[in-house]
Amino acid sequence: MRPHIRRWFGVAQWLVPVLGLCAWAGGSALPSLGTRGIAGALCSTAASAIRPAQPAPALLRKVRIGPVETVSGMPPVADAHNLYSATAAGRFDPAVAGAAPRVYVPNRRSNNVYVIDPATLAVVDRFPVGFSPQHIVPSWDLKTLWVANNGSRRRTGSLTAIDPRTGKPGATVPVDDPYNLYFTPDGRSAIVVAERRKRLDFRDPQTMTLQQSVAAPGCSGINHADFSIDGRYAIFTCEFRGGGLVKIDLVGHQVLGYLKLSKRGMPQDIRISPDGESFYVADMHADGVYVIDGDSFKQTDFIPTGVGTHGLYPSRDAKKLYVANRGSHSTRGAPHGHGSIAVIDFATGRVEKTWSIPGGGSPDMGNVTADGKQLWLSGRYDNVVYAIDTTTGGVRTVSVGQEPHGLTVWPQPGRFSLGHTGNMR
């Protein structure tokens, strides 16, 4: 018998009984946990031998049992089935006491911050900051809002502190290329996302003194991130050169691997599911959201949402995911584009409704108000921000500076901040 025939005959000898086990496990209404674990591993191996990876059948997906074992120093996960349980409407931490409800808007081209009262939609203040402010980020301890001025190809950028109790800016700290800002789940480090450098800078969360740098040379345009439910790793999006993802070990501070997505695109925001199993990745060129299994670091699904998919924000009850579609594939799109907001149901993983922007628009980054009744988003190419009613989808606008970007709504419920425009837990 020829060698290649013998090889395929050998594969068939183990593949046929394994596929039989898979069929039995998939058809059983209530398989035991032990059987599910064995069948899941065997079925995964068999499937990879005959076809590309597909979403796992519901009965073979992992089921978390017992409490989440978090990294040292990270506050415990109160509900293993809903890591956003502490961010429900009205669940304020004492650290935010005295902070007036405000929307802080960084304007990338006018180099300033507008402050809006969300109750009246009036601009109540504005002040200059550093060059090219990109995002406004709550600190891990909820006591400071940091404006990330990345400098836009200048030698240095900076971080400007805002006191949320007064709404006024404070000190500005020189920092290299701070496109975005996150915090480790244990609160011991700030993570400055040095986009142009393809690098993450771990810094002291109070003084921003450099602790350590982690290079990610395979991630061109390292961008947005979210964190595993136990705080052991983070997944960052890679915006340029066809896009992709990079997985970072937050314990050992090293790159764990890279992932290319099924469509050559431009990944933007990323958000973990309430149960901690999946990560949703917005892609501005693919016009939709990838679903990634975080632990195995594999793509499991893709959900079309609209033109220029960009920002992702969970509802206060953690049942919906609001998806901001910028309305353009360009980083410098025209005003009055085909912008919209898609609403994904976490339980089904499907778009249940889509809200358009009257007259066209460019919804980008933002967040939900503390009561969950409004979604605030910057209108990137229209020099406005949108206040969207999360019940009706009705839109009201407020004029701001030039090219508003990663605005934050403050205060927000939650015990600590992981950064960006309000990634709370």
Q: What radius of gyration do the chain's Cα atoms show?
A: 22
Within this chain, do residues 9 and 152 fall inside the same structural domain, yes or no? no
Within this chain, do residues 319 and 380 fall inside the same structural domain, yes or no? yes
Residue 254 domain-assigned? yes
Q: What is the model's pLDDT at position 63?
A: 57
What is the spatial distance between Cα 41 and Cα 25, in angstroms, rounded to a whole number? Answer: 12
Q: What is the model's pLDDT at position 154?
A: 74
Within this chain, do residues 35 and 158 fall inside the same structural domain, yes or no? no
Within this chain, do residues 122 and 41 fall inside the same structural domain, yes or no? no
Q: What is the pTM of this model?
A: 0.85
Within this chain, do residues 288 and 353 fall inside the same structural domain, yes or no? yes
Within this chain, do residues 181 and 252 fall inside the same structural domain, yes or no? yes
Residue 423 domain-assigned? no
Beta strands in 58-128 (DSSP E): 102-107, 112-117, 122-128
Residue 28 domain-assigned? yes
Peptide linkage before 128 cis (omega within 30 of 0): no
Residue 184 domain-assigned? yes
Into how many domains does the chain fold?
Answer: 2
123 to 98, 130, 363, 381, 413: CA distances (angstroms): 20, 20, 19, 19, 23
What is the spatial distance between Cα 130 and Cα 422, in angstroms, rounded to a whole number? Answer: 21
Within this chain, do residues 406 and 282 fall inside the same structural domain, yes or no? yes
Residue 323 domain-assigned? yes
Within this chain, do residues 257 and 124 fall inside the same structural domain, yes or no? yes
Within this chain, do residues 47 and 92 fall inside the same structural domain, yes or no? no
Residue 422 domain-assigned? no
Domain containing residue 333? 85-410
Within this chain, do residues 103 and 239 fall inside the same structural domain, yes or no? yes
Q: What is the model's pLDDT at position 65?
A: 67
- Work out whether the CA dihedral 313, 316, 319, 320 comes out positive or negative: negative
Q: What is the model's pLDDT at position 11?
A: 38
Q: Are 87 and 412 in contact (CB under 8 A)?
A: yes
Residue 145 domain-assigned? yes
Residue 73 domain-assigned? no
Q: What is the model's pLDDT at position 64?
A: 61
Within this chain, do residues 273 and 213 fall inside the same structural domain, yes or no? yes
Q: What is the model's pLDDT at position 345?
A: 98
User: Which residues, given as ranges, of the chain have pLDDT below 70?
Assistant: 1-65
Within this chain, do residues 124 and 172 fall inside the same structural domain, yes or no? yes
